[in-house]
Structure 1
Amino acid sequence: MAKFIQILKDINELIVFKHSVFALPFIFIAMIVASKSGSGSMWFGFGLLVLGVLCAVSARNYAMAMNRLLDEDIDRPNPRCSSRPSVDGRIGRANLKAFIIANAVIFVVVAFFINSLAFWLSFVFLAILGGYSYVKRFSSLAHVVLGFCLGLAPIAGVIAVSGEVPLWSVLLCLGVVFWVGGFDVLYSLQDIDYDKGAGLFSIPAIYGQKSSMFISALFHGLCVIFWTLFVWAGGLGFWAYLAVLLSAFILYKEHTIVRADFNKIDKAFFTLNGYLGIMFFILVWIDLW
């Protein structure tokens, strides 16, 4: 029993399950907005809820494990990453590959039971999620690609409910793209020296600290614009606009914290961004209700 618990702990450390808080709220935002506009009710059914959660969890497990597998040569020399289970031997490459395949199969099978569009796009989604790790080796756009990986969450949510991709879901997706891209640039400041030495193409490594702070702020400005357009295109009201306003304030605080003390990047990255997604979902739910 103790060994099984340790395996679960190692898997949790591998995929950092708590980071699901970034994508899940936006999946559910897309699902309740789509359901409300289609049927007049936010409730899309218990079955679809279960299938949606299974898709979200399996897709994220696949993406994180694939990232750990492909980044092993980068992570091993990096002091911040050298203790990861995929690097220190707690989870071997064979087991890691099996975990990746299992979650990919679960994602595709569950998507099949949602609808035909979800099924066929599941292969495209897996290709995008799996390909992210390669981008950092040749392009500083890796931060935006990571944002797009999480931005697929609301697209997947609306496809699950309505089987289509309306304009408002694309705008919500773009907001997530630049939200994640912006805070990933900040997070990468921790590895600026290592990335330079390893020849990686992170924005901090290529453009330096000061320019990276500006680029991150620019990304977050675009995020707020796209989320405002999402609220407008989705026909939402006061509470949804309040969600965007509060998100802008949280992002401002995030930049203030990082500018004042780089040692608090983790606080800005995990705590504030986690609160942002949950707050956004609650206020959109109140608006629709």
Structure 2
Amino acid sequence: MKSEELKRNVFFEKLNDFSELVMLKHSVFSLPFIFIAMLVASYLDSGSGWFGWKLLFLGTVAAVSARNFAMGVNRYLDRDIDILNPRTKNRPSVDGRVSTGQMLLFIVINALIFIGVAYLINALAFELSVPILMVLGAYTVFKRFSALAHLILGVSLGLAPIAGVVAVSGEITLWSVYLAVGVMFWVAGFDLLYSLQDMAFDKANDLHSIPSKLGAEKTMLIARVFHILAVFFWALFIVNANLGIWAGTAVLFAAVMLTYEHYLVNKDFTKIDRAFFTVNGYLGFVFLFFIILEVI
């Protein structure tokens, strides 16, 4: 009995290590927007927002496996950087809790899961699966030579609504592109704010982040511009999809929450974590809630 209990404890400890490795709880940033796209696509195609249990399951697995792949690649390639940064030196990828072999296996398994799920969804999803994985893996490489890495991260999460509409409709619509571009600027904007924490480290280690190149004041200005653009493109999404008052309310609430995020960061840099995780985590679900009201 003690042997079985020990094995069980080891299993759950390892599971927790992988969860920490990819920060699984932060899937909240991408999941709402893939479901927003799926709800709206179904609503416009059939008059009903419900797209079925099968697509709900496959969409969830696709989103989680894609994010696991991206985070796995990031942690694997960033080991040499993370070990030097006081903020990241205790990550499982650095302190030995997850070995390089385990990380590589994790990356391969999640890539295969994503491709397999895409195959089960439809032909277009399958054709796009490998290019999507290539984009998801590009962020870590980009930040070593270009400050545009913040936008590459935005593109990575912006693919979520594109994937959602492809899953339901088998095509890429203009409104989904507007939604995706809004997500891109939203993510790039809050990544800029989050990167302020590593501004000195990035400069010392020749990493190409915007804060290390332009400083805090200009970074916060660019982040504000990005978030204004996010709200603008989300408004275009609402108009192009011909949605109503509840969807408009979603955009309004998003604008208010982003304004509050900038208020927090401008007031006190120590509140970056609160602005990054709490405000942005809630934003996606608030947006999803009002879209659900719209389509029902």
Partner of 2:208: 201
Counterparts of 2:139 and 2:114, CA distance in 1: 18
Partner of 2:122: 115
Runs of 4+ in 1 over 3 A off after TM superposition: none
1:145 and 2:152 aligned: yes
Deviations 1:192-250 (A, max 9, x none): 00000010111100000000000000000100000000000011011111111111110
Partner of 2:131: 124
Question: What is the CA distance between 1:288 and its match in structure 2?
Answer: 1.5
Partner of 1:254: 261
For structure 1, the residue ranges without an aligned partner over 5 or more in a row are none
Question: What is the CA distance between 1:83 and its match in structure 2?
Answer: 0.3
1:84 and 2:111 aligned: no
Counterparts of 1:183 and 1:282, CA distance in 2: 21
Counterparts of 1:139 and 1:218, CA distance in 2: 20
Does structure 1 retain, via aligned residues, the 8 Å contact 2:41–2:168?
yes
Partner of 1:51: 58
The AA in structure 1 aligned to 2:32 is: P
Counterparts of 1:242 and 1:41, CA distance in 2: 20
Question: What is the CA distance between 1:255 and its match in structure 2?
Answer: 0.4
Counterparts of 2:273 and 2:168, CA distance in 1: 35
Partner of 1:277: 284
Task: Give identity over the alignment, percent.
Answer: 56
CA-based RMSD: 0.6
1:105 and 2:112 aligned: yes
For structure 2, the residue ranges without an aligned partner over 5 or more in a row are 1-7
Does structure 1 retain, via aligned residues, the 8 Å contact 2:138–2:152?
no
1:54-73 correspondence to structure 2 within 5 Å: 54-73=61-80
The AA in structure 1 aligned to 2:166 is: I
Counterparts of 2:138 and 2:146, CA distance in 1: 13
Partner of 1:192: 199
Counterparts of 2:268 and 2:72, CA distance in 1: 31
Counterparts of 2:238 and 2:25, CA distance in 1: 27
Counterparts of 2:122 and 2:294, CA distance in 1: 28
Counterparts of 1:269 and 1:216, CA distance in 2: 12
Counterparts of 1:40 and 1:238, CA distance in 2: 17
Question: Secondary structure at 1:79's aligned position in 2?
Answer: coil
Deviations 1:27-67 (A, max 9, x none): 00000100011111111111111111111111011000000
Question: Secondary structure at 1:111's aligned position in 2?
Answer: helix
Deviations 1:149-192 (A, max 9, x none): 00000000000000000000000000000000000000000000
Partner of 1:35: 42
Match of 2:230 among 207, 223, 244: 223
Counterparts of 2:257 and 2:139, CA distance in 1: 27
Counterparts of 2:240 and 2:166, CA distance in 1: 17
Question: What is the CA distance between 1:18 and its match in structure 2?
Answer: 1.0
The AA in structure 1 aligned to 2:118 is: A
Partner of 1:286: 293
Counterparts of 1:217 and 1:134, CA distance in 2: 26
Does structure 1 retain, via aligned residues, the 8 Å contact 2:194–2:272?
yes
The AA in structure 2 aligned to 1:7 is: K
Counterparts of 2:38 and 2:78, CA distance in 1: 33
Partner of 2:162: 155
The AA in structure 2 aligned to 1:22 is: F
Match of 1:164 among 171, 190, 193: 171
Question: Secondary structure at 2:137's aligned position in 1?
Answer: helix
